[in-house]
Amino acid sequence: MASRDEALPRSSFLILLALADRPRHGLGIVEEVEARTGGEVKLGPGTLYGTLKRLLRRDLIAEAPTAPDPRDDDPRRRYYRVTPEGFVALRAEAERLRNLVAVAEGKDVLGEGA
Amino acid sequence: MSPFPSVLRVLASALLLLHPPDFRREWRAEYRRAVAHRWRLEVERGRRGARTRVALVLLTDALSSLPREWWDALAGGPDRRRAPGSTADAPRRPGSGVGVADWLNGWLRDLRVAARSLARRLGFSTLVVLTLALGIGANASIFGVLDQVILRPFPFEGGDRAVYIMDHSPARGFTFSPTQAEYERWKEGARTLEALEALQAGAATLTGRGPATVVERTFVSLGLPAMVGARPVLGRSFAPDDAAPGAPPVVMVDEDHWRSAWGADPYVVGSTVTLSDEEHTVIGVWPSDARIQVDGDPDFFGVLPPGEELDRSSFSILLGRMVEGVGLDEVEAELAALQSTLEEDPGASSSSKMVPRVMAPYSFLGDAFVSGLWILFAGAGLLLAIAAVNASNLLLGRAVDREAELGVRMALGGSPGRLLRRFLLESVLLAGAGAVLGMALASLGGTVLARLAPSDVPAAAFTDFGAAVPHYTLLLVAAVAVTCAAVPALHLRSSRVRSLLSTRDASSSGSRSRLRSGLVAVQVALAVVLVIGSGLTLRSLQRLTSIDPGFAADEVAILTVRVPERRYPTETERSAFYDRVAESLEGMPDVRSSSASWVIPLSYSIRSGEAYLDGEEAPDGEGVFLSTGGIAPGFLETLDIPLLEGRDFTPEERAAPGESGVAIVNRAFAARYPGSVVGRELRFTSAGPEEELRRIVGVVGDVRAHSLTDEPGRVQVYYPEQGGGDRSAQRFLVRAAGEASALIPLVRSRIAALDPQVAVTGARTGREMIRAATEDERFLALLLAVLGTLSLLLAVGGVYGAVSLHVSRRTRELGIRVALGAGTERLVRDVVARGLRPVVLGILFGAGGALLLVRFVGGVLYETSAVDPVAFVGASLLLIAAAVAAALLPARRVTRVAPVEALRAE
C-alpha cells in the first residue's frame, strides 16, 4: 500500500481525478482525461487497464455496482469509483502539485518571456 | 461511421500479443474495445491522419505499459487481485503467473551456462571480444561523427531541415551574402521555408580580462534564438529594444565559454565585457546545445538591427528551416523566382548576376571532409565485417570441438533449437562484451581523433556521442551476434549428426575445412579492399604534399594585426599605426623583408574574373577563371616569387592604383601568347562589372592562389596596391632570414611593445598554411591507414589460425610423411602453400571488388586514378607477404613433429 507521502504516477493521478466527480467506465475515463488535458493526454489501452489493475490492487478504486447505462452497447461494462483511501491519495497529490506551482509563481517562472 | 481499418486491427492484435499472457487473458476484450473507441474519437477529430494518430497512440502506449506489465507479471505474487466480474473469455489457469517466470528462467539458465562456458575458455573468449571490440568501436566512433556532422548537425527541433542560404555568382564561382531586399522578400514570401533568419560570424578583441585576445562573436537576427529554440541558460534573450538605434550594446555569452572562461559564474548576467573597445552588457547565457554554425564555436552573440541585418561589407548568411518533404532544389527554385521579382540593379552586368544557393549545413566543412567521412564509414563497416567473420571462424572451431558432445545430445533427443539458442547466447554475450569494450575504445579514441581532425570541425563531434550512437551500436551487436551464431550452428545442423558419433576427423571435416578456408578468403577479400583504399589515399596525399606552392613557404610568416576601433577611430591613425608596425618589422635583425599585404596565397582573398590580351580574341565560353589581387610593396620579395620579365610596380603607380593603368601577369598567362606580353594591353574584369584596360609591366612566377589543387595553367593578374590600410585589421607578411616559426614570438613582442592593447591573430608560417590546406586529406589518409592496418592484422590472424589448426589436426599424417623420409622443408612449403590458397582467392576477389568500389573514392583523390596500379599491386603483395609470414609460424611446428609421437597421437 503506497504511503501518503509518495508521489502518484501521472496516469494514476489522472484516472483518480477523472473518477473524482462520478463513477465512470474505462472508456469514459479515457474521454474525460483527454477532454480535461485539452487533448494532450491520450490514455492507451495498455496504460489504462494496467493502471486500473494497480489502483484496484491498492484499493484506491473499486468496482461500482451501478445500473448499466441505457446508452451503452455493452451491458457488461464495468464501472469504477474512487474509494476513501483513493480520495486521500488524490488530495495529497493535488496539494503537492499546488505547492510546487506556488513556488514557480514566486520565482516568476510562469511570468513573461518563458 | 468510418470502418475500422484492418491495419489497426492487426497492429492492436500484435501489441496485445506482446503483453504478458495473464494480462491478455484478463483484458483482451477491453483492449480491443478501447482501440475501437480510440478510433472513433480520432475520426471525430478529423478523418485525415486518424489512422496515423491512432497507431501512434497505440505504439507509445505499448512502449510505456509493456515494461510495467512484464515487471508485474514476473514479480507479481499472491496479493494480485483479480477484478470481480471480469469478461475474460477463457478460464484462468491457476498459477499462470509462474508460467511466464518459468520461460524466463529457462533463458536465464541458458545464459548462465553460456557465460560459464565462455569463462572456461578465457583466452579464446578474450580474443573474440577484442576482435569484435575493434570493429564495433571503430563503427560507433565514426557513426557518432557522421551523426553529429551530417545527419543531425543542429540539435534543435527541425534541425535536420536546416539549411544555409547565400548568394552565388555562377560566373565568378564565389558566394556572397544575400542582400537586405532579398532577405525580406524571401522571409515574407517563401512557402518552402518555415522560418528564415540571418547570422553574421565575426571576431572581436576582448580586453579587460587579462591580455587582449580575439574572440568569436556571431550576430544573429532577432527571431533566430526562437527559431532554434535557444532558451537562455541564465538571463534573457535579445529583445527588440536591444536592437533599436542608440540602444546600449548587449551580448549573450556562449555557455561553453561561460563555463571555461567565467567559471560558470551565476552572476554573469548584468556584468560588462569590453569587446573591440566598447562596453557591452551581458544579458544572458546562450545554451551550448543550440548550435547554429557547423564550422565555428562562437564565444559571444550579438543582435542584428532589424531592417539592416544584411550588411554586405561583413559576411552574413541566412539560416532557414525547410518545410517537411521539400528538397534543396525546390527551395532554391522558389527563392530564385522571388528574387527575380525584385528590382534589377541597373549597374549589374551578367557576369555579376547572383543566384540563391541553398545548402545543407555540413557542406561548409568542405566536400573533401564529407566524402572522406562516408568513405571512413564504409571502411569501418568492412572492418566490422572482417571482425565478425573472424569471430565466427573462431566459434566454428570451438563448435567443432564439441561435435561429439552435441552429437550425443541430439541422438538422445535434444532439440536443435536449444542448440541454436546456446550459440546465440554465447554470441550475444561476446558481441555485447565487445560492444562495451568498443564503446570505451571509441570514447578514448574520440579525444585523440578530435586533436587530429581538421580544424574547422568542432571537437564535440568526436567526443559527444549523441543518442543515436548507442542505438546504432545495439543494432551492430545484434547483427554480429546473429552472424557469429549462424555460421557454426548452420554448419552443425547440416552435417549428419549420427556420423559424428562414429568418427572424429571424417567426412564432415572436409566440408568444415572448406568452410573455414572460405571464411579466410572472405576476410582476405575484405581486407584487400580496405588496404587498396588506404593505398590510394596515401598516394594522393603524397602527390598533394609534393606540390610546389610557388612561394617560399618555409621562410614566410603571416599574421593579422587588429586594432581596437575606439583607440584608433580615424583612418589616418590606423594607417599610421600600421606604418609603425611595418617600420618596426623591417628594422628587426632576423627579418629579410616584409610586406603589409592583405592578399596571401592559398586563400580566397584573391578574386576571379576574365582576362585576355587586347587585340586578341576574347577566350570563348564563360571566361577563364583567373585570380587577381593587389601587390603591396615587398610582396614579391617577401614571398620569393620570381620576377621573370619586366619590373615590379613603382611607388607612383602604387600611390594611385586606380589611375595607374598597369598590371603584372603570371607565367601561365604569358605562355598563352607568342612573344613577350610586356608592354601590351590587357583587358580584364575583376571587382566591378566594367572591363578594365591595363598595360602589362611585368611577368612573375605562378603561385597557388586559391588552393593547392588549382589547375597549373590558371591565369593570375596583379594590380598595384598601396599596402598598409586603414581598416580595423591588417595582414602582414614577413620573411625570415632563418626559420619562420622562430620569428613569430619575436614579432609578437615587437608589436606588443608598440601597443599592448592590439591583438595579433592568425599567426602562422607558410608551411603551416600548406599543412592546413591538406588537413582533410591527411585526416582521411591517416584514419584509412589505421583501418587498413587493423583489417590486415585481422585477416592474417585468420590465416594464422587456419594454418595452425590444420597443423595440429594433421599431426599424424605429417608424422608419417616425416617418418617415410619426406624433407621437412618440403612439408613446410606444402603447408604454407595450402594455407595460401584461400588468400590468393581472396586477393583476386578483393581486387575485383575494389575495382568496382573505388569509383566512390575517386572524388577525394588528387591526380591519382582510382585504379592506380601501384596501389593495387602493392596491397596484394603486402597481403601475400603478411599471409606467408602468418602461415610460416605455425607451419614450422611441422619440423618439430617427432614421427613416433605423431603416430602415437590420436
**Which residues in chain B have Cβ-Cβ distances shorter than 8 Å to A44?**
34, 38, 57-58, 60-62, 65
Confidence category of residue A31, pLDDT binned at 50, 70, 90: very high
Confidence category of residue A86, pLDDT binned at 50, 70, 90: very high
Q: What pLDDT does residue B380 have? A: 92
Among residues B753, B781, B771, B327, the alpha carbon closest in space to that of B577 is found at B753
Which of A39, A44, A49 is nearest residue B60 as measured by Cβ atoms? A44
Confidence category of residue A92, pLDDT binned at 50, 70, 90: very high
Q: What pLDDT does residue B617 have? A: 66
Low-confidence stretches of chain B (pLDDT < 50) are 77-97, 351, 496, 498, 505-507, 604-605, 621-623
Scored b (16 or more CB within 10 A) or e, B81-112 reads eebeebebeeeeeeeebeebeeeeeeeeebbe
Q: What pLDDT does residue B106 have? A: 73
Which of B15, B27, B37 is nearest residue A30 as measured by Cβ atoms? B37
Q: What pLDDT does residue B371 have? A: 85
**Which residues in chain B have Cβ-Cβ distances shorter than 8 Å to A27?**
33-34, 37
Q: What pLDDT does residue B640 have? A: 87
SS3 of B742, please? helix
Contact B61 A76 (CB under 8 A): no
Contact A44 B68 (CB under 8 A): no
Among residues B292, B382, B341, the alpha carbon closest in space to that of B190 is found at B341
Q: What pLDDT does residue B243 have? A: 86
SS3 of B804, please? helix
Q: Report the chain B residue with the minimal C-alpha distance to residue A75.
A: B87
The predicted-structure confidence for B269-327, as pLDDT tens digits, reads as follows: 889 999 887 889 999 999 988 888 877 788 999 998 888 777 756 778 899 999 888 88
Residue A50, min C-alpha distance to chain B (Å): 7
Residue B545 near residue B704, CB atoms below 8 Å = no
Q: What pLDDT does residue A76 have? A: 59
What ipTM is given for this predicted complex? 0.81
DSSP assigned state of B688: S
Q: What pLDDT does residue B169 have? A: 73
Q: How far apart are the first and last CA of chain B?
A: 79
Q: Report the chain B residue with the minimal C-alpha distance to residue A112.
A: B236
**Which residues in chain A have Cβ-Cβ distances shorter than 8 Å to B89?**
none
Concatenate the DSSP letters of all residues of B821-847 into one string. T--HHHHHHHHHHHHHHHHHHHHHHHH
Residue B234, min C-alpha distance to chain A (Å): 12
Q: How far is CA B823 from the centre of its chain?
A: 56
Planar angle of CA B480, B483, B487, nearest 5 degrees: 150
Q: Report the chain A residue with the minimal C-alpha distance to residue B56.
A: A44
Alpha helices in B147-248 (DSSP H): 180-189, 224-227
Q: By percentage, how much of chain B surpasses pLDDT 70?
A: 85
Contact B84 A63 (CB under 8 A): yes
Interface list for chain A against chain B, based on CB atoms closer than 8 Å: 26-27, 30-31, 34, 39, 42-50, 52-54, 56-57, 63, 74, 76, 78, 113
CA distance B505 to B493: 17
Contact A27 B58 (CB under 8 A): no
Cell of B288: 551550448
Which of B35, B84, B237 is nearest residue A45 as measured by Cβ atoms? B35
Q: Is B772 on the interface with A (CB under 8 A)?
A: no
Contact B34 A113 (CB under 8 A): no
With a CB cutoff of 8 Å and minimum separation 6, the contacts of B321 are B158, B161, B162, B163, B193, B194, B195, B196, B227
Cell of B554: 618555409
Angle at which helix B6-18 crosses helix B50-75, to 10 degrees, equals 10
Strand duo B662-666 + B692-700: pairing: parallel
Contact A31 B57 (CB under 8 A): no
CA distance B610 to A33: 71
DSSP assigned state of B366: -
Cell of B114: 553460456
Contact A46 B35 (CB under 8 A): no
Q: What pLDDT does residue B225 have? A: 92
Contact B68 A31 (CB under 8 A): no
Q: What is the pTM of this model?
A: 0.68
